[in-house]
Structure 1
Amino acid sequence: MLDLINLNSIPVFLLIFVRIAAFFVTLPLFSYRTIPAPFKIGFSFFLAFIMYYTVDASAIVIDEMYIFLLLKEILVGLLIGLIAFIILSAVQIAGGFIDFQMGFAIANVMDPQTGAQSPLTGQYFYIFALLFLLSVNGHHLIIDGIFNSYHFIPIDAFIPFQDGSIADFVITAFNKMFLIAFQIAIPIVGCLFLVDIALGIIARAVPQLNVFVVGLPLKILVSFLVILFFLSLYITLVKGLFETMFETMRGLMQLFGGA
């Protein structure tokens, strides 16, 4: 007879299930609208069923504090997934920087995965980033991260909020995200800045030439050539982005666990 059939084990299983389900609500790749909701719920259920036999829940006491443990599990899952989503948003921010220089900033597209508007170049880079994540089995590392979260944040412990270390950690994560976004965008933005300087010189040297008509197609052409040339550099930066994402998730879990 499986332990899960025992009514006493259902509250413990529910604690595990809500953390995993909340984790998949905000996590990149797993939280997208293109993934059906029954798949997310079913995957969370069976993953929680597997993790139930590996989590030490002997100290769980079903009393008036159980509802707060349930809320804590939801909060932990949401915040760990959200910090990963914030770090991965560096790709979209870099695309916004590039589109502003290219002249594509007015032509944002609706992202069917998140339901929000995103820059054209950012969406192009984002698809490359997700394909790279899947090609190196990064989604396995993400699932392994939620599994290892029980080693850092015990199921029967609450999150310590004695000082501002968690707020400082989130601010540092934001700084890293903007730094990576700047590193991704600077080759294209730098080249377009040089194109703007060249067009300014041409406008002064040849006043008869309408640089506004020539400049926009020229900047788009230069942008495509530079993106093609720096694509290998972009893959290297995306690799560092994912390493930063996993390190940030681990650091946040350590703070939640009181380390």
Structure 2
Amino acid sequence: MLDISFSYADLQHFLLIVVRVTSFIFIAPFFGMNNTPRRVKIGMGLMISILLYGIVERPELVFDSEIEYAIIVMREVICGLLIGLGAQLVTTVTVLAGYIVDIETGMSMAQVFDVNTRQQVSISSGIYQYSFMLIMIISGMYQYLVGALVDSFTLIPVGGAQFNAGKLVSQVVTFMGEYMSIGFRIALPIFCCILLLNSILGILAKVAPQMNMFAVGMQLKVLTGLSLLYITVFTLPRISEFIFTEMKRMIVGFVEGMM
């Protein structure tokens, strides 16, 4: 006869697992998209938590009151949020790259509503963002995110998160230093071509002042920018691979800051 026992202590451990997993799902890229219903996110969190409950280590929880248990719950919430935030921060590089492209091509005034961030974003930013999400699905990078969450229970046992503010802040500062560099490198091909086009238009304005360079230049920059955006789409898989590498480094750094 199958004997399954589920004590009050088991329930406390299970709730902590649910809290960390659900917090991660609500902020991580792809999983935390705002156009995904909250019921789906909660259901996914419960399903993953049930699967993890039988395999993760469950150390004894030491607390004397409900307030201390609530503090442990909050630590698990922060732990899940930080792991997801480590991945989410890297995806914002695509937004910066899109803004640089649109500023150079004259399309920065054309804004679209992004249902994911609930903000107005430029056209190129939207293209880069959703292309990145599509490549994440095709390449199976979302599986790495789930694997990182699962491994976090081995490195950071349930209720055992110890936040090292120095390491966490250092990780964010290091990334912010590379943020502009990575975004500019993504937009560099289009930036250089538009810079060359502006130089040519400047020379033509001096050679043939009777030409209306404003009317010609705006249309030519938009047409050139769209053409270059179409051509450079084929470089997105390699760009995404570089972003995935940075994402892994950020997640590892955040996990090390909580050990």
* Aligned match of 2:91: 88
Q: Which region of structure 1 is more displaced relative to structure 2, 64-73 or 206-215?
A: 64-73
Shift of residue 182 of structure 1? 1.1
Q: 1:135, 1:160 → 2: CA distance?
A: 34
Q: Would you say the 8 A contact 1:203–1:211 is kept in 2?
A: yes
Equivalent residue in structure 2 for 1:196, among 198, 201, 209:
198
1:147-158 mapped onto 2 (5 Å cutoff): 147-158=150-161
Q: Would you say the 8 A contact 1:152–1:256 is kept in 2?
A: no
Change beyond 3 A, Cα 1:2–1:45: farther
The secondary structure found in structure 1 opposite 2:211 is coil
Q: Which region of structure 1 is more displaced relative to structure 2, 39-48 or 111-120?
A: 111-120
Question: Identity over the aligned pairs, expressed in percent?
Answer: 26
| RMSD (Å), alpha carbons | 1.5
Amino acid at match of 2:22: A
Shift of residue 62 of structure 1? 4.5
Shift of residue 243 of structure 1? 1.5
Equivalent residue in structure 1 for 2:145, among 118, 142, 149:
142
Shift of residue 254 of structure 1? 1.5
Equivalent residue in structure 2 for 1:165, among 143, 157, 167:
167
Q: 1:148, 1:63 → 2: CA distance?
A: 29
Change beyond 3 A, Cα 1:102–1:57: same
Equivalent residue in structure 2 for 1:248, among 246, 250, 259:
250
Q: 1:2, 1:180 → 2: CA distance?
A: 52
Q: How many residues align structurally?
A: 255
1:138-183 C-alpha deviation (Å, 9 max, x unpaired) = 111111111111122121323243x622211111122233222111
Q: 1:21, 1:56 → 2: CA distance?
A: 18
Q: 2:94, 2:150 → 1: CA distance?
A: 26
1:60-209 mapped onto 2 (5 Å cutoff): 60-64=61-65, 65-161=68-164, 164-209=166-211
Amino acid at match of 1:40: K
* Misfit runs of 4+, over 4 Å: none
Q: 1:83, 1:56 → 2: CA distance?
A: 24
Q: 2:110, 2:163 → 1: CA distance?
A: 45
1:27-47 C-alpha deviation (Å, 9 max, x unpaired) = 111111211111100110111
Q: Which region of structure 1 is more displaced relative to structure 2, 64-73 or 89-98?
A: 64-73
Q: 2:59, 2:156 → 1: CA distance?
A: 15
Q: Which structure 2 segments of 5+ residues have no match?
A: none
Normalised to the residue count of structure 2, the TM-score between the two structures is: 0.93
